[in-house]
Amino acid sequence: MAGNPELIDYYRKTHERRVYGTSSVKYLRFLRPWIRIAAPKSILDYGCGQSRFLDILGLGEDVALWRYDPAIAEYAGKPAVPADLLVNIDVLEHIDEKDVDGVLADMRAASRRALIVVDTKAAKHTLPDGRNAHVTLKPHRWWRERIAAHFGLAEPIATPRRTRASFKTWVSAPAERMRYRLLRLEEDARHVARWAQGRHNEHWKVSTTK
């Protein structure tokens, strides 16, 4: 298990008390097009928290949906074989800097292709030791170099906030980039429709844990 055991224990207790770790659903319209283009037969949400991200992708019954999060007992075991695609969303900033390379190496062992989103802005809450919950706050370039050192490539991709450093770790052909733009138009249309219907937060709360 990569990462700081004390931090993992803190997040284990946090997940037991309240809804936490659901932010990945915010990125659906930006990431789902790349996932659809990649057409994975298996996808691993590494550091999944309580999110329903994999469930709302709509990839079909033939795609294996795997979750890993050492802070949640149900998801504490990793798959025995690498996934076709790994997603890691708003996780790495919670990892101590000294442990980042170990976690990235663990992610690389779990999949060659990855979609990675890192928050580069301070969190709104602090840890019991007084540190900001985002214990590793680094600029986009720092994250790009660190991720590329393990995956060989870290190509910036779009997300809804400039404070996110977001990357994919594989090369896309021009035709795939054009398809991404078309799929994004579809996703944006759905997003606007959900807002108009007051359904924009329908995937946000995932449990009633207190």
- Asked if pLDDT for residue 208 goes beyond 50, the answer is no
pLDDT at 18: 59
pLDDT at 207: 37
pLDDT at 210: 27
Per-residue model confidence as pLDDT tens digits over 26-63: 889 999 999 999 999 999 999 998 878 999 999 999 99
- Average pLDDT over the chain, rounded to whole? 88
pLDDT at 112: 95
- Asked if pLDDT for residue 174 goes beyond 70, the answer is yes
Structure tokens at 24: 């990945």
